[in-house]
Structure 1
Amino acid sequence: MRMLVQFEASNSRRVRAGPNVQRVCLNVGFLVDLSTRNNMSMSTLSMPHINGLLVYLVVVRALKLWRHLRARGLSQSLKELYLLTAQSAFRLVTRLPSVRRRVETELDAAKVEIERMLLPHGKDVVRHLSLPKNGRPLEWIVASMEQMDREAPSRTDYRDGKLSGTVYHGGDDMERIIVAAFQRYCVSNPLHPDAFPAIRKMDAEVVAMCLRMYNNPTGAGATTAGGTESILCSVKTHRDWARAVKGISEPEMVVPASAHAAFDKAAAYFNVKLHSIPVDPETRRVELKRVRRAVNANTIMVVGSAINFPDGCQDDIVGLGRLAKRYNIGLHVDCCLGSFIMPFLEKAGFPSEPFDFRVEGVTAISCDTHKYGFAPKGSSVIMYRSADLRQYQYYVNAKWSGGVYASPGLSGSRPGALIAGTWAAMHYMGEDGYISSCRDIVGAAKSIQQAIENSFPELYVLGKPPASVVAFGSRTPSLNILEVGDKMSKKGWHLNALQNPPGLHIACTRLTVSMVDEFIRDLKQAIWEAKGSPAGTGALVSLYGLGNSSAIGPQLVGALVSAFLDALYKA
């Protein structure tokens, strides 16, 4: 059976207001009361009531503007206004036939290049666009998969250890463990716990084990399909909690600029206004004073990372916790990337700052089991301080003609095989296994960090990363760090490109451990090559250079990325 709880928003909000504002509200209330009860037309209302309504609207708009300016600051607000103006002008200009033709010609050429890189081409490519008349045997299916691997325009073998993150490989033995779990539970679905009681049990135990890792054995949580869904669930939960408990109907959240893009996605999905707060350029932590300024009566939550994706640094979770507790709002700590590294740092011999449920004010934590937990891809956990808070994540429809419908998260049906694989991976590793893995992976990251700080005068490390990620940028304008990234790509390395500031990062995995020396050698060579060559036209330079070239650059990048997404579904 599927379950969920829907909490309706309160129509009234508790607001402390002065006598003038109260008088305006009384006028508006009287005005609405007259119009709804007596069905009176606006023409019959007295001028004091109309004036009261206008004053009320002006006050509301002014309050919203003041909160926006306070959160963003004058310079950032002016920059946003400039960007909006420039983008509007760009849209007007591109309506001109000659300009539109030029833009479309350039985009079409870019689309062709994207498809050339992604799609197999040639007369020998076999395409399967409709169902076969008769079913195929296993041998044919395996052979066809091998053929598709050969047809790919480019293919990276993750076992080479040159990928930044992406594949969190737990070893060949772990693969066999996961495949065995898949085989046993391949058709299972936790939507039907009566049919698959073992999956229900494993689902609950995965959450319980993670809660204990993060020092909240009495808390609550749920499994999800990945870090993005965990973050979406948390934002939805805090929104509905704030609506039911505090009467907030226009929710806002305060998020570091270094936080994962899933928070922006959640804001777009759930109609939550997002304030992006700058991070300190040296420490890479979100600026607490700016966070405090951005918090207002509509704030439902603030966010911190341990660790963040761009540069692998940790926000001041204790400071954010104090703010959250003071203003009675949520604090989500994003540990998706920190996952099974952060809880074991201290036991592995590395320094660690508070980040989990032991910090007062933390209300939710996301943890990706499919990263350093080595579970199969598509598995994550969202944890809450209490079961009462988790109630706001549920969806329940008691009136559906198909019966009572309920689900704990965004998905209805879910693959029980992934839950079984996650449960199996966690038991196979055990605490000792994760401590050992943490020691090796973080040790590799520290070696790379020390090499950059001591042997590469052209580079600098962003902040003080405590765990598995090392990000670095260029100290001098003469060295384009994105050019270095393109040179590293030619050597088989797939690093993540950063912007604001431009940089590169490597997320170390178990596969990276044996490749540290080769990485350092290749980075030294790539820097030398980037210095000795003219400004390049590689993928990273072109894409991120375009994005930062002007106010309309991001729109053009957006068009290219949309073309990329379209190409993913071209058969």
Structure 2
Amino acid sequence: MPPRSNSKALLALPTTYAKELLGPLLATSTKLDVAKSALFYYLLLVYTRKAYWHLRARGILASVKDVYVLVSQFVVRLVLRLPSMQKKVTTEMSKARLDIENKLVPKGPNVTRHLTIPEEGKSLEWILAEMEKMDLELNGQKGIWNEGKLSGAVYHGGEDLQKIITTAYDRYCVSNPLHPDVFPAVRKMEAEIVAMVLKIYNAPATGVGVVTSGGTESIIMALKTYRDWARKTKGITEPEMILPASAHAAFDKGAAYFNIKVHTIPVDRFTRKVDLKHVKRAINPNTILLVGSAINYPDGAEDDIAGLSALAEKYGLGLHVDCCLGSFIVAFLEPAGLANGDAKGKYKLSPFDFRLKGVTSISCDTHKYGFAPKGTSVIMYRTPELRRFQYYVNPGWTGGLYASPGLSGSRYVDLLSSIQPALFADL
């Protein structure tokens, strides 16, 4: 052992011993062997870290269950490749396909089908009569939604509002928001719709947004935004997100589109709120986004958005609040004096909007309780810097500058133009 007083010698010991141990190995190894070993240990480190993060997020029992599911799926795929099984599956699929076709696309002597474009154009009277006939053939009536027997799917503001909406359709049906220089009124409408919705969600002065084709597109565009934001600002190339088990399936859909790993967190059995301790445990260096609902689709419960906001602030993450269903209900509960719940304090609404500093984006459907036509929603961001990552711009296209704010190019101005009348109407 070297003398204790020789501190430099002590500091040099690890290097000295490493040279003594690895020297002979390096001397007898080729550069290719060294490269192979380095690659092996690098991959071992990468996958060990991934396994640790997954175990930490899911827990041992849940991880074992995940492995069991993967193995089971693999075995099932192998079994289905057997000729006898393939024949049976084909037969059953044909039966199911025929059953679905009979239900959704009825055939028979009393059902008219139009499968080719007519050689001669039809009159307006003929077209209207054909629509009426089709409704009677398929529904036998105007539809069960008219009788108030349908939960969800249809959010109808009444016949008077419907007349206002169809008038707006007629006025702007040839317009296109992709060309705001040609249709400036449409651009003005979109900007004002976004401003109205930002205000009811208490956005700061920096708040911005975009009108989309519905809640799913709002959610998908938010995921695209956070993926690109994290890649640009944090260098994250394998993004992950954390969402409650009660979150809308559009989050899984968007994650599949943009290759984002999803950590699904269970919700409390009674409160139906996401487990914040579990959320915190799932956060790792690749996490880009937390998700909460106000309110969710499965049971109408609100997540602890304030708790999620605190986590998002602490770890520098995005927090998206899905208010697609809550939309114009939850935003007005507090102004209406209903945010404190009933006399016993049950059903109290917790903070969920931009007043929570950790909330960075919110989706709100105008086509639900805003009673605008189906196919309209608003995605809101706290800052224009974040929204910038939603846009696509191609300045080098041979057709000229191409830019669009969302998935669509040309957009549904007939739907967009009827949002504002729906919000203006006094009915």
TM-score by length of 1: 0.66
Residue 419 of structure 1: which of 413, 416, 419 is its match?
Answer: 416
Q: Provide the residue aligned with 2:200 in structure 1.
A: 213
Q: CA deviation at 1:427?
A: 1.1
Q: Provide the residue aligned with 1:458 in structure 2.
A: none
CA contact (8 A) 1:117 1:153 kept: no
Does the alignment pair 1:234 with 2:222? yes
Q: CA deviation at 1:53?
A: 2.2
Does the alignment pair 1:395 with 2:392? yes
CA contact (8 A) 1:285 1:315 kept: yes
Q: Provide the residue aligned with 1:346 in structure 2.
A: 334
Q: CA deviation at 1:99?
A: 2.1
How far, CA to CA, are the matches of 1:400 and 1:100 in structure 2?
47
How far, CA to CA, are the matches of 1:189 and 1:134 in structure 2?
29
How far, CA to CA, are the matches of 1:287 and 1:362 in structure 2?
18
How far, CA to CA, are the matches of 1:125 and 1:118 in structure 2?
12
Counterpart amino acid of residue 310 in structure 2 = R
Q: Provide the residue aligned with 1:110 in structure 2.
A: 96
Q: CA deviation at 1:79?
A: 1.2
How far, CA to CA, are the matches of 1:174 and 1:217 in structure 2?
31
Q: Deviations over 1:273-312 (max 9, x none)?
A: 1111111111101100111111110011000000000000
Q: Provide the residue aligned with 1:201 in structure 2.
A: 188
Where do residues 342-381 of structure 1 align in structure 2 (5 Å cutoff)?
342-350=330-338, 351=340, 352-381=349-378
Residues paired across the two proteins, number: 389
Q: CA deviation at 1:131?
A: 1.1
Residue 291 of structure 1: which of 279, 284, 287 is its match?
Answer: 279
CA contact (8 A) 1:221 1:382 kept: yes
Residue 334 of structure 1: which of 311, 322, 332 is its match?
Answer: 322
CA contact (8 A) 1:213 1:343 kept: yes
Does the alignment pair 1:167 with 2:164? no
Secondary structure (helix, strand or coil) at the match of 2:230 reads: helix
Q: Provide the residue aligned with 2:176 in structure 1.
A: 189
How far, CA to CA, are the matches of 2:32 and 2:404 in structure 1?
51
Q: CA deviation at 1:243?
A: 0.7
CA contact (8 A) 2:327 2:364 kept: yes
Where do residues 104-183 of structure 1 align in structure 2 (5 Å cutoff)?
104-152=90-138, 156-183=143-170
Does the alignment pair 1:406 with 2:403? yes
Q: Provide the residue aligned with 1:470 in structure 2.
A: none
How far, CA to CA, are the matches of 1:368 and 1:229 in structure 2?
10
How far, CA to CA, are the matches of 1:306 and 1:332 in structure 2?
10
TM-score by length of 2: 0.88
Where do residues 22-61 of structure 1 align in structure 2 (5 Å cutoff)?
45=31, 47-61=33-47
Q: Deviations over 1:309-351 (max 9, x none)?
A: 0000000000000000001010000000000000111233422
Question: CA separation of 1:217/1:205 partners in 2, compared to 1, >3 Å: closer, same or farther?
Answer: farther
Residue 306 of structure 1: which of 294, 299, 314 is its match?
Answer: 294
How far, CA to CA, are the matches of 2:53 and 2:139 in structure 1?
51
How far, CA to CA, are the matches of 2:140 and 2:395 in structure 1?
50
Q: CA deviation at 1:237?
A: 0.4
Q: Provide the residue aligned with 1:72 in structure 2.
A: 58
Counterpart amino acid of residue 368 in structure 1 = D
CA contact (8 A) 1:187 1:415 kept: no
Q: CA deviation at 1:44?
A: 5.7
How far, CA to CA, are the matches of 1:73 and 1:229 in structure 2?
32
Where do residues 421-436 of structure 1 align in structure 2 (5 Å cutoff)?
421-429=418-426
Q: CA deviation at 1:200?
A: 0.4
Gaps of 5+ in 2: 1-14, 16-28, 341-348
Secondary structure (helix, strand or coil) at the match of 1:152 reads: helix
Q: CA deviation at 1:356?
A: 0.3
Does the alignment pair 1:279 with 2:276? no
How far, CA to CA, are the matches of 2:82 and 2:199 in structure 1?
61
Secondary structure (helix, strand or coil) at the match of 2:417 reads: helix
How far, CA to CA, are the matches of 2:335 and 2:317 in structure 1?
32
Q: Provide the residue aligned with 1:243 in structure 2.
A: 231
Q: CA deviation at 1:212?
A: 0.2
Greater shift after overlay, 91-100 or 269-278? 91-100
How far, CA to CA, are the matches of 1:413 and 1:297 in structure 2?
38
Q: Cα RMSD over matched residues?
A: 1.6
Counterpart amino acid of residue 215 in structure 1 = N
How far, CA to CA, are the matches of 2:109 and 2:61 in structure 1?
56
Q: Deviations over 1:404-441 (max 9, x none)?
A: 10011111100211111001101115xxx7xxxxxxxx
Counterpart amino acid of residue 279 in structure 2 = V
Secondary structure (helix, strand or coil) at the match of 2:61 reads: helix
Counterpart amino acid of residue 171 in structure 1 = G
Counterpart amino acid of residue 273 in structure 1 = K
Does the alignment pair 1:84 with 2:70? yes
Q: CA deviation at 1:154?
A: 6.6
CA contact (8 A) 1:118 1:153 kept: no
Q: CA deviation at 1:46?
A: 5.2
CA contact (8 A) 2:212 2:376 kept: yes
Question: CA separation of 1:425/1:79 partners in 2, compared to 1, >3 Å: closer, same or farther?
Answer: same
How far, CA to CA, are the matches of 1:68 and 1:347 in structure 2?
43
CA contact (8 A) 1:208 1:217 kept: no
Question: CA separation of 1:153/1:183 partners in 2, compared to 1, >3 Å: closer, same or farther?
Answer: closer
Where do residues 466-481 of structure 1 align in structure 2 (5 Å cutoff)?
none
Q: Provide the residue aligned with 2:10 in structure 1.
A: none
Q: CA deviation at 1:205?
A: 0.3
Secondary structure (helix, strand or coil) at the match of 1:341 reads: helix
Greater shift after overlay, 396-405 or 68-77? 68-77
